[in-house]
Amino acid sequence: MVRVGCNADCKGDERIEVKKNIYTKGEIEMYKKSRFMFVFIIVILFICKGFTIDLFSKTDKQKEGRAVWISANMFSMEKEEAISQIKEILNKYSLIGINNLFCFSSMMYQNQKKWDFLEILLKETQKKNIKVHPIFCPYRKVKLEGEIKEHPEWLISGKKGEIYLNLNMANPEAREYFKREIIKALKYNVDGIHLDGIRFPINQGFSYDKTTCGVFKKEFGFSPLEVHQDCGSMVWCEWIKWNANHITTLVREIKEIIEKSGKDVVLGVDVFPDAETAKILIGQDWELWAKEGLVDIICPMQYTNNLDVFRKSVKKAVIIARGKCLVYSGIGIRSSHNINTPEGVVQEVKLAREEGADGVVFFFGTTLTDKFINKLKLDVFK
């Protein structure tokens, strides 16, 4: 099965007709020696890697993943104008071999367009052999309407009882509500499902509602509100792990939904760059997701202009993935953490390659302008 971001780079059904030849004894001996040397080198490499090398991780000569985060909101509300804009941007992306799009607000209820944006995007990207992954964000703020209005207990409640318009993923019913969005997307011929904001709000923004705290107390004997809220409290440490486990449960459940659909759809995730702190501060245990093979693509959002920091982050992500999933390094062109240059972006692509990443993904579609595209085309994406 060929998956997005790792397509076999085969050159068709090429066959070479070999004429019969008579080889000299010297030529035969030379062939034997060269074959022996090839096997010897492979064995040495295997040993040097401590027997952990995955001989099949690159055997199909995977196509480098070149992706962009985009949004339906980049395009006009008017259908015909939007189609023209989509064609124009796809032509530009084709110049640098973009082969994946991770798209926010793909669904009609997300973008408020009166026409089916995702259907049009899929139609146009198929012409360019570009894969489409609609994005879904558990962390996003929701509107207090419809089912949410009927079930305010699904929302995160602060320590003082204040309500936040974010779904509490420790609540099974809230997770079921979110998963229904994934099922809707799978009715389309999408290439992937992509999760952004697959976490709690920053700085341990867990929910302290009565039900959630009650479930935790039944298991551990104390509510998180009844103990010291620091790492000196073993119960507080369990509270952190407990919430992270609920996010992992959601990832696992979405993986199961995709598998049960019978479709060749990959699951990707956008994650904070440091796995250790992400698990503690936002309940995002993406190292475990990689280890258990719950996801197919991990996109660490490595938004920095510091090349040394970037390199270390990519290297660590590749080690964590261990070939069990693809790593697309998230390169920030303009983000809340950095403002990059065309030269800086090119250098980060080179570093991502050097450290063994399977691809890169650029943030964001609106900032991947002509000057960046031209620089990439002249250098790393020739």
pLDDT digits (tens, 9 = 90+) for 122-148: 999 999 999 999 999 999 999 999 999
Residues 6+ apart with CB under 8 A from 200: 139, 156, 166, 169, 206, 243, 247, 282, 283, 284
249 and 168 Cβ atoms separated by less than 8 Å: no
Q: Where are the beta strands (DSSP E) in 222-371?
A: 266-271, 297-300, 326-332, 359-363
pLDDT digits (tens, 9 = 90+) for 178-226: 999 999 999 999 999 999 999 999 999 999 999 999 999 999 999 999 9
The predicted model gives 227-246 an average pLDDT of: 98
Residue 66 corresponds to which amino acid?
A: R
Angle between helices 79-95 and 117-128 (to 10 degrees): 30
Alpha helices in 162-298, H assignment, sequence order: 172-185, 210-220, 234-261, 275-281, 286-291
Per-residue burial over 104-128, b = 16 or more CB atoms within 10 Å of its CB, e = otherwise: bbbbbebbebeebbbebbbebbeee
CA distance 199 to 282: 6
- Three-class SS of residue 58? coil
Query: In the structure, what pLDDT confidence band is assigned to residue 34 with cuts at 50, 70 and 90?
Result: low
Given a cut of 70, is residue 21 above it in pLDDT?
no
How much is the mean pLDDT over the chain? 88
Query: In the structure, what pLDDT confidence band is assigned to residue 277 with cuts at 50, 70 and 90?
Result: very high
Residue 3 corresponds to which amino acid?
A: R
Residues 6+ apart with CB under 8 A from 103: 69, 70, 71, 72, 118, 121, 132, 133, 134, 135, 194
pLDDT computed for residue 2 by the predictor: 36
CA distance 238 to 97: 46
CA distance 319 to 325: 11
CA distance 320 to 271: 13
What are the distances in angstroms from CA 99 to CA 90, 137, 191?
Answer: 10, 22, 11
Above pLDDT 70, what percent of the chain? 84
Longest dimension (CA), the chain: 87
Q: Please, which contacts does 341-344 make with residues 24 or more away whose CB atoms are closer than 8 Å?
A: 341/305, 342/371, 342/372, 342/374, 342/375, 342/376, 343/375, 344/305, 344/307
